[in-house]
Chains A and B, each alone.
Chain A
C-alpha cells in the first residue's frame, strides 16, 4: 500500500465531488484508471511563497479539467511532492513521482536551479517534464528533449519586449539594479542588448550580492543623469530594497522607475513604505489588479483559483498572489490535456508521442485554456511566447498602460531539441 500525500487525497476528493455533481461520464476511455500527474512543488525553502500559490492554481485547474470530463475520458489526479526549492531534492522528487508514484508526467517547478538540476533525471527516466519557470534555460538549450516550457514566456523574451516602450516613454539612459546571479544576469544582458537596439544606453549596472539584506549603500552608484532606474530583485528582502529606494530619493528629484513585478510579487502594494512607488511602472506577466476590459475567462480563472479583483486571496485580502507567474501552472495543465488528446495518450508507453504532439503545437488561442492571453509555441526550442504588460502604479493599484505584441520578444532560435534523440 502506498501512502498518498494528504494534499493529493484532497485533490482526489475535489475531483471526485466534481464528478459526483456533474453528469459527465468517463466511459469512452479504454481504461478508467486516472491520469496521474506529478507536481514538483516548492512547498518549503526559498520558493515557498510561490509554491503555495502554484499549488492552489494546480488544484483549481485540476477541478476544471475533471469537471469537463478529464483527459481522454479518464479522470485526472495530481500528486504533489515538496522539493524544498533545492536541486538535489528536486531530482529525487522527479524520480519519486516517476518510479514510485507512477506519474504519467511531471510539471510545476519555478526556480531555475531546480529545473536545471532535475531535467537530466527526467530525460534519463524518459518522462515529460513541463516547467513553469520563466527561466531562459529551456530555450537556451541547457535542458533536453523531455523538458518543455509551454505555459510562460521566458525572461529573455520578456525583457526584450519591454525595451522599446521603456526607451520611448521613460528615457534612454538606463541604470539597472539586479541580483548578482544567473536570473539577474539574464536581465542585464538581454535588456542592455534590447535597449542598445532602440538607440538607448545602459549607463550603469549595479549587481547586488545574493546574500544582501540592506541596499541603501548601493544607491549612490546610480548616476545622477539616469533617466530610468530599472530594478528586478527576488527573494524575501525585495520589500526592503523597494522601501530603501523610496527613503533614498525621498522628496528629492528622482529618475523614472521601471521594475519587474518579481520585485514585489506576492507583496501587497499597500504595504507600509511603498507609497513612493506611485507613478512608477512595472512589467507584469498578467495584470494583478483586474482591468476594466478583463475578459470573462479571466474572471472565471480568478474565481477558480480563489483570487479577488486585487489579486489577493478570497479568504484573506492581505494574502497577495504571485499573479504574474502562477497562470503558467493553469496553462501548462491545458497544454498537457491537449497534448495527451492529440497523441491519443493511453499509458506511460505513449510519453514520447506526447512530447512530439506538444512539439507540433504552434499557437495557443486566448481563452479559458490560456487565461494570460494568446501565445505562439516554438516546438524546436520548447518555449512559449505570449504578450506582456506594462502597468503604472496609481493609488496602490496597478493600471495597465501598454500591452506588447507577440513579436516584440522573439529572438533567433538557440537550439533545436527536435534534432535530439529521445
Chain B
C-alpha cells in the first residue's frame, strides 16, 4: 500500500479512536470537573451500557430498532443506577476523595460480578444499526465508524450546550466553583451532585451503546475506557470540554502514527510514557487554568 492510502487509513483510524476517547471521557470530565471526585466505576458504567445494549438487542427484532431502543434505555438505566449510588453512597461519604475511590472500586467489583452473573463471560457482538462498507481502491472501511465520529461531535456539542447555555449547566458551574456559596444562593447541591453523577454515568452508557457495534460487550471491558478517560480528562485539563476534545484528538492521532513507526507494543509503551511526561511537566493539563 502506498504512502497516501496508508496516511488516509491512519487518519481515519486516528479520528475514530479520538471519537471513542472523547465519548468515553466526556462523562468523566463532567463528574470530575463539577464534583471533584474520582469515579473508578466510570469504566463499569460504560461496560454496563454496552452489555445492556446487547441485552436490549435480544428483545428487539431489527438492528436499527434495537440500536435506538438501547440508545434510550441504556443511558437512562445506568443514569438511574448512578443517581442511586450517589444518594445512597457517595453523599453519605461526604465526597471524601479517598473514601469515594474505595467505594467506587467496591462498586466496580459489584457491577462486574453483576454483568458476569446475569450476562455471562462471553464477548457479545451487537449489530450496527446500518451495514455500510465503504470500498476505497486500496481498502474497505466501515461506514458505521464514520458515523461514530459524527455522533461523538454531536454528543460533545450537546454537553457543551447544556453546560454553557442551559439553566442546569449554570447551576452545575456555580456548584463547581463554590458549593457553599451555591448552597447559600438556594441551589440544592445534593440534587446537583446526584444529577451530575447520573449524567456522567449516562454519558458513559451512551458512549458504550454507540461504540459497542465496533467492539463487543464483555464484562471486563470497563478497564481500558476508564484508563483512557482519565488520561484524556487530565491532559485536556479538569472540566474543560474543549481540552477533552483536543486531548482526544492528539492521543488518537499520535497513537495511530506511533504504531506505524515502531513495533506496536513498543509504540504503546512510548505513548504511555509520553502521556505520563505531559502530566509531569504540565500537571494542570494542556487547557486547564494554572493552579
Q: How far is the CB of A303 from chain B (nearest CB, A)?
A: 22
A251 an interface residue at 8 Å Cβ cutoff? yes
Q: How far is the CB of A322 from chain B (nearest CB, A)?
A: 10
CA distance A211 to B271 in the complex (A): 13
B123 an interface residue at 8 Å Cβ cutoff? yes
Instruction: Indicate if the CB atoms of B139 and A250 lie closer than 8 Å.
Output: yes
Interface residue tally of chain A, by bracket?
A: 35 or more
Contact with A237, one of B116, B127, B215, B267 (Cβ below 8 angstroms): B215
Q: Which residues of A contact B254 (CB under 8 A)?
A: none
Instruction: Indicate if the CB atoms of B121 and A213 lie closer than 8 Å.
Output: no
Instruction: Indicate if the CB atoms of A240 and B215 lie closer than 8 Å.
Output: yes
Given contacts A180-B264, A238-B123, A319-B120, are A46 and B135 in contact (CB under 8 A)?
no
A218 an interface residue at 8 Å Cβ cutoff? yes
Residues of chain A from 86 to 112 with CB closer than 8 A to chain B in the complex: none
The number of inter-chain residue pairs (CB within 8 angstroms) is 107
A279 an interface residue at 8 Å Cβ cutoff? no
Residues of chain B from 1 to 59 with CB closer than 8 A to chain A in the complex: 1, 5-6, 9-10, 13, 16-17
Q: Which residues of B contact A171 (CB under 8 A)?
A: none
B111 an interface residue at 8 Å Cβ cutoff? no
Instruction: Indicate if the CB atoms of A217 and B10 lie closer than 8 Å.
Output: yes
Contact with A250, one of B63, B116, B135, B221 (Cβ below 8 angstroms): B135
A273 an interface residue at 8 Å Cβ cutoff? yes
B151 an interface residue at 8 Å Cβ cutoff? no
Q: How far is the CB of B116 from chain A (nearest CB, A)?
A: 7
B250 an interface residue at 8 Å Cβ cutoff? no
Contact with A252, one of B121, B128, B139, B221 (Cβ below 8 angstroms): B139
Instruction: Indicate if the CB atoms of A49 and B127 lie closer than 8 Å.
Output: no
Question: Which of B17, B133, B135, B268 has most A Cβ within 10 Å?
Answer: B133
Instruction: Indicate if the CB atoms of B215 and A213 lie closer than 8 Å.
Output: yes
Chain A 240-254: CB-based contact to B (< 8 A → 1; otherwise 0):
100110011111100
CA distance A273 to B133 in the complex (A): 11
The interface stretch among A123-131, A154-162, A264-272, A281-289 is A264-272
Contact with B133, one of A212, A240, A247, A320 (Cβ below 8 angstroms): A247
A310 an interface residue at 8 Å Cβ cutoff? no
A52 an interface residue at 8 Å Cβ cutoff? yes
CA distance A121 to B10 in the complex (A): 48
Instruction: Indicate if the CB atoms of A52 and B121 lie closer than 8 Å.
Output: yes
The interface stretch among B98-106, B153-161, B179-187, B255-263 is B255-263
CA distance A250 to B140 in the complex (A): 5
A209 an interface residue at 8 Å Cβ cutoff? yes
CA distance A272 to B221 in the complex (A): 19
Instruction: Indicate if the CB atoms of B9 and A217 lie closer than 8 Å.
Output: yes
CA distance A224 to B1 in the complex (A): 7
Instruction: Indicate if the CB atoms of B13 and A239 lie closer than 8 Å.
Output: no
A31 an interface residue at 8 Å Cβ cutoff? no
B265 an interface residue at 8 Å Cβ cutoff? yes
Question: Which of B9, B63, B142 has most A Cβ within 10 Å?
Answer: B142
Q: Which residues of A contact B163 (CB under 8 A)?
A: none
B224 an interface residue at 8 Å Cβ cutoff? yes
Contact with A211, one of B123, B135, B268 (Cβ below 8 angstroms): B268
Given contacts A209-B268, A212-B264, A219-B139, are A266 and B122 in contact (CB under 8 A)?
yes
Q: Which residues of B contact A267 (CB under 8 A)?
A: 122-123, 125
Instruction: Indicate if the CB atoms of B215 and A217 lie closer than 8 Å.
Output: no
CA distance A46 to B121 in the complex (A): 8
Given contacts A237-B215, A266-B122, are A251 and B135 in contact (CB under 8 A)?
yes
Residues of chain B from 234 to 291 with CB closer than 8 A to chain A in the complex: 256, 259-260, 263-265, 267-268
B147 an interface residue at 8 Å Cβ cutoff? no
* A44 (CB) vs chain B CBs: closest residue: B116
A311 an interface residue at 8 Å Cβ cutoff? no
Contact with A217, one of B63, B120, B219, B256 (Cβ below 8 angstroms): B256
B216 an interface residue at 8 Å Cβ cutoff? yes
Q: How far is the CB of B68 from chain A (nearest CB, A)?
A: 17
The 3 A-B pairs with the shortest beta carbon distances in the complex, nearest first, are: A250-B140, A48-B121, A272-B127
Given A180-B264, A211-B224, A216-B13, 15 other A-B residues pairs in contact with their CB atoms under 8 A: A46-B220, A49-B122, A51-B121, A52-B121, A180-B265, A212-B264, A217-B13, A220-B1, A236-B218, A236-B220, A238-B123, A240-B215, A244-B142, A250-B133, A267-B123
Please list 18 pairs of residues, one from A and one from B, whose beta carbons are closer than 8 Å in the complex, sorted by A's number: A48-B121, A49-B121, A209-B264, A212-B268, A213-B215, A216-B9, A237-B123, A237-B215, A237-B216, A247-B140, A247-B142, A248-B139, A249-B139, A250-B135, A251-B135, A252-B135, A267-B123, A272-B127
